[in-house]
């Protein structure tokens, strides 16, 4: 990973969970989620295709809360990965 990628991921994580912020919960600690829309089954997106999610919205919240517990339901509840990525990039002033 290059220095620029590490800095970008750090900026993303420091904004807090994008879903929590959109729901009006404020900033919550976030980890990086690599957007997989448009990727093959075993491929991971590059580091510039990432959004910040808290633990519950990323992996521990169960079906309908965590993206890894049911992507279709999660996206109907909170928006698509691509729309949230677009929002994140706009907030950071990143043109990817």
More confident residue, 37 or 17: 17
3-34+47-92 CATH choice from 3.30.40.190, 3.30.450.20, 3.40.50.300, 3.40.980.10: 3.30.40.190
- Residue range 27-44, pLDDT digits in tens: 899 999 999 875 555 566
Q: Give me the residue spans of the domains in the chain.
A: 3-34+47-92
CA angle in degrees (0–180, nearest 5) for 76-18-47: 100
Gap between the Cα atoms of 16 and 19, Å rounded: 9
Gap between the Cα atoms of 32 and 17, Å rounded: 9
From start to end of the chain, where are the E strands? 31-34, 50-53
pTM reported for the whole predicted model? 0.89
């Amino acid at each position: 990973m290059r220095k620029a990628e590490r800095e970008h991921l750090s900026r993303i994580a420091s904004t807090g969970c994008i879903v929590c912020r959109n729901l009006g919960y404020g900033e919550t600690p976030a980890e990086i989620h690599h957007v997989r829309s448009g990727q093959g089954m075993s491929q991971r997106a590059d580091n510039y295709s990432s959004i910040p999610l808290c633990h519950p919205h990323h992996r521990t919240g169960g079906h309908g809360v965590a993206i890894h517990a049911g992507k279709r339901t999660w996206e109907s509840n909170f928006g698509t990965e691509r729309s949230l990525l677009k929002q994140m990039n706009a907030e950071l002033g990143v043109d990817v």
